[in-house]
Amino acid sequence: MNKRRIAIIFGGRAEEHPISLKSAREVAKNLDLTKYEPLWVGITKDGAWKLCDGPHEGWENGRPVVLSPDTNVHGLIVLEHERYQTIRLDVVLPVLHGKFGEDGAMQGLLELSGVPYVGCDVQSSALCMDKSLAYTVVRSAGIATPDFWIVAANEQLDPGQFTYPIFVKPARSGSSFGVSKVSQKEALLPAVEAARQYDSKVLIEAAVVGSEVGCAVLGNDPNLIVGEPDQIRLSHGFFRIHQEEKPEDGSENATFIVPADIPAEARTLVQQTAKTIYRTLGCGGLARVDLFLLQDGSIMLNEVNTLPGLTSYSRYPRMMAAAGLPFGKMIDQMVTLALKKAHYE
């Protein structure tokens, strides 16, 4: 049996760099080496690409490498001692989160390279990364979203125009970096400035009273697999596990319930709505759709993550495992989908 040569790209320049390393380590633990020949490519915080032995300590000392946009190369160019070597790839698994990873930038480079890759394409990645654009498109499909306002760079705000509490967040960022819950108008402008540290475009959202639930989606339309919905119970504040000191030991303010402790009809509605949102936004490969389950039983979109975390404490693999798809088989299915899509295109 010929092994598929797979490049796993991790790290990156975004705030989510440490999370990406943890995701890549879980992939390393679970990748089926009887099927795949892995090539590990780490991207340092300052943007240098390194071919290394894995996402472990010292990977930054690997050999310089780039992904060629030339389809004739169809893979990597290793640079060393004023000479170069090409390595042809069968598929790429980008284990990258946030800017330059799941916003369409990496996907654009992969499209130019001609190498099949796991996950959403350029358009859906960019669309889902911008929460205001995702909300606008989803609303056109008749799905509810929080009320929201866009704050452009240098725009002046009147704190008195809002009803509190509200959430202030970067429009194009992830993992709750730069997010603030604002309960009084005096805290609004500092919260906007905090969000602007991560994105010039800021989103203000009305707070939603409801249960936070999520649904893992895997597949290409029309054949979609959904995981068991999960539920987040908060003791205080808002969900921000990736900024906690030891998330592997459990969250400081959140409890995960998988499967979600919700009625059967609500479970079905969550899964159906997640698939509708996934299709509406043009997603493919995989995505995690985060939702609010309101007291009246209706559903509202929270956000869509096109390259969700794959860490030991991440929600996406937990939901898939609860549905009978363990981590290794989940990765195998993602790669199979990428190769099938490339074949049909």
CA distance 306 to 174: 11
Residue-level pLDDT at 286: 98
Residue range 297-319: mean pLDDT, rounded: 95
Task: Give the single-character DSSP code of 2.
Answer: P
Residue 152 has phi, psi (to 5 degrees) of -75, 165
Higher-scoring residue by pLDDT: 251, 111: 111
Average the pLDDT over 23-32 and give the result: 97
Helix residue ranges per DSSP H, the chain: 17-30, 105-113, 122-129, 131-140, 188-196, 264-280, 315-322, 327-344
Separation of alpha carbons 186 and 182, rounded Å: 9
Between 235 and 217, the more confident residue is 217
User: Is 184:164 a contact under the CB 8 Å cutoff?
Assistant: yes
- Cα–Cα dist 276/164, whole Å: 31
At residue 155, the pLDDT reads 87
Render pLDDT for 120-173 as a digit per residue (tens, 0 to 9): 999 999 999 999 999 999 999 999 999 999 998 888 899 999 999 999 999 998
Q: Note the pLDDT of residue 154.
A: 82
Confidence band for 253, pLDDT divided at 50, 70 and 90 = low
- Please determine, for residue 196, whether its predicted confidence score (pLDDT) is greater than 80: yes
Asked if residue 159 has a cis previous peptide bond (ω within 30° of 0), the answer is: no
> Span 14-25, mean pLDDT?
94
Distance of alpha carbon 8 from the chain centroid: 15
Q: Is the pLDDT of residue 323 over 90?
A: yes
Domains of the chain, earliest start first = 4-117 (3.40.50.20), 126-145+209-344 (3.30.470.20), 148-206 (3.30.1490.20)
Question: Higher confidence at residue 343 or residue 189?
Answer: 189
Let me know: does 226 contact 268? Beta carbons within 8 Å.
no
- pLDDT at residue 172, rounded to an integer: 92
Confidence of residue 236 (pLDDT cuts 50, 70, 90): low
Quote the tokens at residue 10: 């991790």
Q: Indicate the SS3 state at residue 111.
A: helix
Give pLDDT, residue 238: 56
At residue 177 the predicted structure's pLDDT band, cuts being 50, 70 and 90, is confident
User: What is the distance between the alpha carbons of residues 197 and 201, in angstroms, rounded to a whole number?
Assistant: 10
The pLDDT assigned to 19 comes to: 93
- The percent of residues in the chain predicted with pLDDT above 70, rounded, is 93
pLDDT at position 251 is 57
- Quick one: pLDDT at residue 86? 96
pLDDT band at 247 (very low <50, low <70, confident <90, very high): low
Between strands 230-234 and 210-220, the pairing is antiparallel
The encoded tokens of residue 246 equal: 């030891």
Q: Using pLDDT thresholds of 50, 70 and 90, give the confidence band for residue 82.
A: confident
Portion of the chain with pLDDT greater than 90, in percent: 84
Average pLDDT over the chain reads 92
pLDDT recorded at residue 133: 97
Asked if pLDDT for residue 341 goes beyond 80, the answer is: yes
Closest by CA position to 312, among listed 254, 250, 257: 250
